[in-house]
Amino acid sequence: KNEVEQSPQNLTAQEGEFITINCSYSVGISALHWLQQHPGGGIVSLFMLSSGKKKHGRLIATINIQEKHSSLHITASHPRDSAVYICAVGDNQGGKLIFGQGTELSVKP
Amino acid sequence: DAGVTQSPTHLIKTRGQHVTLRCSPISGHKSVSWYQQVLGQGPQFIFQYYEKEERGRGNFPDRFSARQFPNYSSELNVNALLLGDSALYLCASTRASTPGELFFGEGSRLTVL
């Protein structure tokens, strides 16, 4: 069993839909990251969480430390949100992370 | 300001050869981390360097080595290449004031034939 599990692995949505991607982990952590990867490889850091909830534009990330679970929500989804979303856990020093396998999101117009 | 830059962007090698990948962090960032991403999988942590010292190492064989230079740029070296080393190699830098905020380069795509 992987230490970081994401679900679903693939997700297709219609433009405007509310999207949820889940991440469960089995190791002790100080921080959880949500990352976005577009075709071609570039990765953008969306959030780093150690507790509670963060919001940036249409993106919301929550974490429940006791349940070792995090969710990434996208409100009013748009085709430009199509990407692979990756959950990663580790310490709060950034580098040494354990990554999930990613969730491939496709938003259709 | 320039982002994290990696070179080369693409390269093809044959089994047994050696490869050197390079990463220049964002100006002012003193920590660099390296990751390997095999097609269809999430990245895996290889190394982290801070102030030229190795801070962490992932579960990779000794064929993988890295170093960080006084200007905080970094090299990842892989010896005796195997077909399974074919992957996207990503570099990320962080600044001391916000160590958890990662800035990634576009990666170096290595194909081993």
**Inter-residue contact B60 to B6 (CB < 8 Å):** no
The residues facing B53 across adjacent strands are: B50
Q: Which of A93, A98, A101, A104 to mutate to test the interface with B (most CBs of B within 10 A)?
A: A93
* Digitized pLDDT (tens) for each residue of chain B, 113 residues in all: 679 999 999 999 999 999 999 999 999 899 999 999 999 899 999 999 999 999 999 999 999 999 999 999 999 999 999 999 999 999 999 887 777 788 999 999 999 99
User: Under DSSP, is residue A45 helix (H, G, I), strand (E, B) or coil?
Assistant: strand
Rounded CA-CA distance B35/B12 in Å is 18
Which residue reads 């929500």 in tokens? A73
Q: How many CB atoms lie within 10 A of CB B26?
A: 17
Question: Which two tokens mark B1?
Answer: 């300001």
Contacts of A4 in chain B (CB under 8 A): 42
Chain CA centroid to CA A11, Å? 13
Contacts of A36 in chain B (CB under 8 A): none
